[in-house]
Amino acid sequence: MKDVHKLQEDAGGLYDPRVREAMERFTGGGDTALFEAAAAVRSAFHAVERMRTQGAEGRGLSSGALDILMRVSAEAASIGDLAQASGVSSRNVTGLVDTLEKDGLVRRNQDPQDRRSVQVSITPAGKAWTEAFRRPSQLAMESAFHGFTPDDLDRLRHLCLRLVQNQETR
């Protein structure tokens, strides 16, 4: 997947000339900044996901299942809470939990406060899986964010979450 993006630099920083050209056609020669930024976010997402997959070293969990496992590694959570935190439907989370449960990484338990609710908790095998995943994941993220300063990372996080916030308040 190397060299998929033939990046160049201008006064605004890095850009992809193929994306810029496509966006200029799309906008009829108008301003491409918003569209180029959206394309850059999408490309960055895919780059991080590729690094994350490498960090998982073929352990066979989808990105969604991995997110659920990480969320319950700290404390048990209901399907509804997991869905809300992940920004997906309860039905989607149920399918992911089914997969994780089949693999022995999580288990469902009745909520002692609400018998209609089910809590998802990590199993000892799930804890072992996350421990084995930790270091390869750290290495993958260090590679993905190579050369970023702590301020760069704070700013990137802030800008990405502003995108999320803008979408949620529309």
pLDDT in tens, the chain (170 residues): 455 668 989 988 899 999 999 999 999 989 999 999 999 999 898 888 777 766 555 667 787 888 899 999 999 999 999 999 888 899 999 999 999 999 999 999 987 788 788 899 999 999 999 998 888 888 888 888 999 999 999 999 999 999 988 988 88
Strand, helix or coil at 122?
strand
Total number of domains constituting the chain: 2
Domain that holds residue 29: 1-55
Three-state DSSP state, 147 = coil
Q: DSSP 3-state assignment of 39?
A: helix
Whether the pTM exceeds 0.75: the reply is no
Regarding whether 69 and 47 lie in a shared domain, the answer is no
Shared domain check, 47 and 92: no
Contact assessment for residue 79 and residue 118, using Cβ atoms and an 8 Å cutoff:
yes
Q: Do 81 and 101 share a domain, yes or no?
A: yes
Question: Does residue 83 share a domain with residue 166?
Answer: yes
Tokens matching residue 147: 């050369």
Q: Which of 20, 38, 55 is the last residue of a domain?
A: 55
66 and 149 fall within a common domain: yes
Based on the fold, state whether residues 20 and 92 are members of the same structural domain: no
pLDDT on residue 21: 93
The domain that holds 153 is classified in CATH as: 1.10.10.10
Model pLDDT, residue 1: 47
Q: Are 34 and 92 in the same domain?
A: no
Three-class SS of residue 1?
A: coil
| Judgement on whether residues 138 and 152 belong to the same structural domain of the protein | yes
Distance CA 139, CA 117 (A): 38
Q: At residue 168, what is the residue type?
A: E
Same domain, 84 and 13: no
Q: Are residues 44 and 121 in the same domain?
A: no
Closest CA to 55 of 139, 131, 161, 114: 139
